[in-house]
Amino acid sequence: MGPGVVRELAEVVGSAHVVTDPELLAAHVVDWTGRFRGHSPAMVRPGSTAEVAGVLDVCRRHQVALVPQGGNTGMVGGGVPLAGELVLSSQRLTSAGDVDLAARQITVGAGVSVETVQLAAAAAGLRYAVDFGARGSATIGGSIATNAGGINVLRHGGTREQLLGVEAVLGTGDVVSRLSGLVKDNTGYHLPGLLCGSEGTLGVVTAARLRLVEAPSQVVTALVGFATIDDAVTAVSTWRRATDLLDAAEIVLAAGVQLVAATFGYPLPFDRPCAAYVLVEASDHDDPTERFAELVAGAVGVEQVAVATDAARRAALWRYRDEHTAAINTVGVPHKFDVTLPIGALAAFMADVPHVVAEVEPTAITWLFGHVGDGNVHVNVTGVAPDADHLDERVLGFVVSRGGSISAEHGIGTAKARWLSLDRSAGDVSAMRAIKRALDPAGILNPGVLLA
Ligand code: FAD
Ligand code: 2HG
Ligand code: ZN
C-alpha cells in the first residue's frame, strides 16, 4: 500500500485516524491467543458510516485488502491482518442511542462493547441477553460478525436472535441501513441475518438495532459437582426438559477448575475434586431456588453442590468457568476447537477426544469446557506448535464423524477455512462463494477468512 493510498485514507478519516506507527499497530496485528500474528501497513479508524464507505471506496479503487477489527477478542484468526491487510478499526463507531422502553430495543454503533450495551439495558431495567467472558472488550460489530453465542443461548438464543437490524457498508459500496426496529418486516432478503455470522467478508457493520429482554428479578446460580461427564451431560438434558427457567448450563472439568484456581489464586470450590462440574443458572420473577434444588436433588451422580443467590457469591462461582480461557493461555498458545455435538453424542465425544489428540500429539494437553446446555464444547489443546495443522485436521474430522459442527459460535476465520468443506457440502460452499462474489466483487473484505 503506497503513500498515495495513505493520503487518500487520511482525506476520508483525518490523518490522526490513519495509524502507521508500528508500536501502535502492534496490538492489532496479533490475536488474543497469540496464535495468529500478521503485519499491516496501517490501521484506519473511521468515525461514521459515511467514512467507512469512503475507506472502502479507496480500498476498492486501489485493490487494497482490509480486515475489519472490533475488540480483537475473536478466537479464529479472523480479525488480524495475516497477509499484510489494512486494519479497519471500529474504535470510533461508538454512538449509543437511548434505550427505547416501549419497543425494548437499543441502537448502538458497531464499536460499542457488549458490556456497555448490557449496562445500558440494566440501567433501564432490561437486559441484553448475549453474554460471554470477553464482554468488556468484544464489540457489538464483532459479535454480529461472528454471531457470538455465549452463556445464555439456551434461553435467549445467540446474537442473530437479538438482531433487529443493522447499518453496514457492503463490499460493493452499497450502504444497508435497517435500524427501524420493526419486529415484523418481510420486505425482501433479510440482509441483517446474512451479515450476522459473515465474519467481515461481505460488509462492515457500522451500527445495530438490538432486542432487549426483561431483566430477571430472582437469580440462582449453582456449581454442581458430578461423578462423571456422562452424569453431568445427562443431568443438564433432564433439567432442560423439566424447566424453561435455565439461563445457563456450563460444563468444566476437574483439571480446568484446578488450573483456574492455581492461576488466579482462588480456593478450590469443594474439599474434594469432582470429575465434572456444571455451572447452572436459573432466573424467574419468583425465587426459583426451591424448584431448582428439587431438580439437582433428582439428578444422578451429584457429589457436591454450592448455591449462591447474591451477586458477589454468584460471581465467585462464575469465575471458575469464565476464566478458563485466560488460564489456559498461561499454559501455552492453544489450538482452539469450538465445536457442537448432538447432545446424545456429547459425553462420549468428551471422553474420546483427548485420546484422538494424543494419537497425533502424544505430549499435548487437552482441556474441555463449554456450553453444555446447547451441546457446544470448547476443546483447547496446549503443548503443540501453532502451525500443527495435522492436529486440526484430525480433531475437526473426528467432530464431523460424530455428527458435529466444526464451528459452534466462534466462526471459521482463517483457522478453519481449509476445513470448511468437511462440514458443508459442495453446493453449500458454492452458494456462499456466489454471495461473496456478489457483495464483495473486488474481494477486498477479509480475503483470508471463511472462503479463502
Ligand atoms: P474481533 O475479534 O475484532 O473480530 C472478529 C471477527 O469479526 C473478525 O472476522 C473481524 O474481521 C470481524 N469484525 C469485527 N468487527 C466488525 C465489523 N464492525 N463489521 C464487520 N466485521 C467485523 N465468543 C462466543 O461466541 N461465545 C463466547 O462465550 C465467547 N467467550 C469468549 C471469552 C473470552 C475470554 C474471549 C477472549 C473470547 C470469547 N469469545 C466468545 C470470542 C469473541 O469474544 C467473540 O467472537 C466476539 O464476538 C468478537 O468480538 P470482537 O469485537 O472482539 O471482534
Ligand atoms: C468461552 O465459552 C469462549 O469461554 C472461549 O467461547 C472458548 O477459550 C475458548 O476456547
Ligand atoms: Zn464459548
Express each pLDDT in 138-156 by its tens digit: 999 999 999 999 999 999 9
- Res. 186: pLDDT tops 90: yes
pLDDT tens column, 381-413: 999 999 999 999 999 999 999 999 999 999 999
Alpha-carbon distance of 23 to 334, in angstroms, equals 25
CATH architecture, domain defined by 105-214:
2-Layer Sandwich (3.30)
| Domain parsing of the chain, residue ranges | 3-89, 105-214, 218-324, 332-409
141 lines ligand 2 (CB under 6 A): no
Q: Whose CA is closest to 234, among 350, 407, 322, 155? A: 350
338: helix, coil or strand? Answer: strand
pLDDT digits (tens, 9 = 90+) for 64-77: 999 999 999 999 99
Residue 452 has a pLDDT of 80
Q: Is the CB of 378 under 6 A from ligand 2?
A: yes
C-alpha 369 – ligand 2 centre gap (Å): 8
For ligand 2, mutation pick of 31, 36, 114, 132 (most atoms within 8 Å of CB): 132
Q: Which residues line ligand 1 (CB under 6 A)?
A: 32, 67-75, 78-79, 90, 110, 132-134, 138-139, 141-143, 145-146, 148-150, 199-200, 204-205, 325, 409-410, 446, 449
**Spatial separation of the C-alpha atoms in residues 281 and 154, rounded to whole Å:** 11
Q: How many CA atoms lie within 13 A of 42 on its CB side?
A: 24
pLDDT tens for 21-36 read: 999 999 999 999 999 9
Non-local (6+) Cβ contacts of 357 within 8 A are 364, 366, 379, 381, 391, 394, 395
Q: Ligand 1: which atom is nearest the Cα of residue 143? A: 47
Give the distance, in angstroms, between the CA of residue 48 and the centroid of all CA atoms in the same chain. Answer: 25
Mean pLDDT of 1-6: 90
Strand 365-371, strand 376-382: pairing? antiparallel
**pLDDT of 2:** 87
* Among protein residues, the one whose CA lies closest to atom 5 of ligand 2: 325
> Do 109 and 207 form a contact (C-beta atoms < 8 A)?
yes
Count CA within 13 A, CB hemisphere, residue 444: 23
pLDDT at site 288: 87
Atom of ligand 2 nearest to the CA of 322: 4
Please tell me the number of the ligand nearest to residue 69's CA.
Answer: 1
Report whether pLDDT(282) > 90.
yes
Would you state the cell numbers that stand for residue 168, as one nine-digit string? 453496514
pLDDT above 90 coverage of the chain, percent: 96
More confident position, 10 or 285: 10
> Do residues 204 and 95 lie in contact, with contact meaning Cβ atoms separated by under 8 Å?
no
Among all bound ligands, the one having the nearest atom to the CA of 160 is 1
Residue 292: predicted pLDDT? 85
Residue 158's pLDDT band, with cuts at 50, 70 and 90, is: very high
Residue in 378, 379, 382, 409 to alter for ligand 2 test, most ligand atoms within 8 A of Cβ: 378
pLDDT at residue 286 above 90? no
**105-214 against 332-409: fold identical:** no
Residue 139: partners with Cβ closer than 8 Å, 6 or more residues away? 70, 71, 90, 110, 111, 112, 113, 114
**Which residues are paired to 100 by β-bridges?**
105
- Provide the mean pLDDT of the chain: 97
**CATH architecture of the region 218-324:** 2-Layer Sandwich (3.30)
Mean pLDDT of 57-61: 98
Q: Where are the beta strands (DSSP E) in 329-402?
A: 335-340, 365-371, 376-382
240-261: average pLDDT: 96
CA distance 47 to 44: 10
d(CA 342, CA 376): 9
324-331 and 311-322 helices, crossing angle to 10°: 40
Candidate of 32, 33, 338, 339 to mutate for ligand 2, largest count of ligand atoms within 8 Å of Cβ: 338
Question: What is the model's pTM?
Answer: 0.98
Give distance in angstroms: CA of 147 to centre of ligand 1. Answer: 8
Per-residue pLDDT band for 291 (boundaries 50, 70, 90) equals confident
- Strand partners for 253: 276
CATH class of 3-89: alpha beta
Cα–Cα dist 134/410, whole Å: 12
Name the residue with the closest Cα to ligand 1, atom 21.
Answer: 200
Per-residue exposure over 333-343, b if at least 16 CB sit within 10 Å of its own CB, e if not: bbbbbbbbbeb
Q: 309-328, pLDDT tens digit by residue? A: 999 999 999 999 999 999 99
Point out the ligand nearest to the CA of residue 205. 1
What value does the mean pLDDT take over residues 178-205? 96
CATH assignment, 332-409: 3.30.70.2740
Q: Which atom of ligand 2 is nearest to the CA of 336?
A: 10
Pairing of strands 175-177, 163-170: antiparallel
The answer to whether residue 216 scores a pLDDT higher than 90 is: no
Closest CA relative to residue 204, chosen from 181, 178, 171: 171
| Of 369, 371, 399, best ligand 2 pocket probe by most atoms within 8 Å of the beta carbon | 369
Taking only the tens place, the pLDDT of each residue in 343-376 is 999 999 999 999 999 999 999 999 999 999 999 9
Q: Are 191 and 178 a contacting pair, CB within 8 Å?
A: yes
Range 267-294 average pLDDT = 93
